[in-house]
Amino acid sequence: MENVILVVHLILAICLIGVVLLQRSEGGGLGMGGGGGVMTGRQAATALGKLTWAFAIAFLATSITLTILAAQNSAGSSVLDRVGTGTTEQAPTDDGSLLPPADALLPPVTGDAPALPPRTD
């Protein structure tokens, strides 16, 4: 069920992007340019405008539906609750930290090659 809604959601997103890109550019920011003068209150509702609204409403509806389904599937558990599964517990060291000793954090040494190239001063 969730996968079907997710696929519909992605198709709606692509359609919404396509319809918005097909619309005529007004030339000004925030709809301030072109067409029937600067002080017009309403613009003519075109078919692309209506289609944009329909896709936007359907996109928001699928977004809310996916959010509700994700909240139901979470079952009150946190991601942090699942992080600890499958790992071994480590006892604290002498200083109380859970970090491994510094020797264990260094990369392995292969052969007797120097860590840095020799200086050529």
**DSSP letter at 34?**
S
Whether the CB-CB separation of 88 and 48 falls below 8 Å is answered with: no
Averaged pLDDT for residues 100-121: 70
Instruction: Show the tokens assigned to 60.
Output: 């928001």
Instruction: Show the tokens assigned to 20.
Output: 């918005």
58-90 core/surface letters (b: 16 or more CB in 10 A; e: else): bbeebeebeeeeeeeeeeeeeeeeeeeeeeeee
* pLDDT tens-digit map of 26-56: 655 555 555 555 555 556 678 888 999 999 9
Residue 120 predicted with pLDDT over 70? yes
* pLDDT tens-digit map of 85-110: 555 555 666 666 777 777 677 776 66
Of 2-11, 58-67, 84-93, the least confident: 84-93
pLDDT computed for residue 72 by the predictor: 85
DSSP SS3 for 83: helix
- pTM across the whole model: 0.53
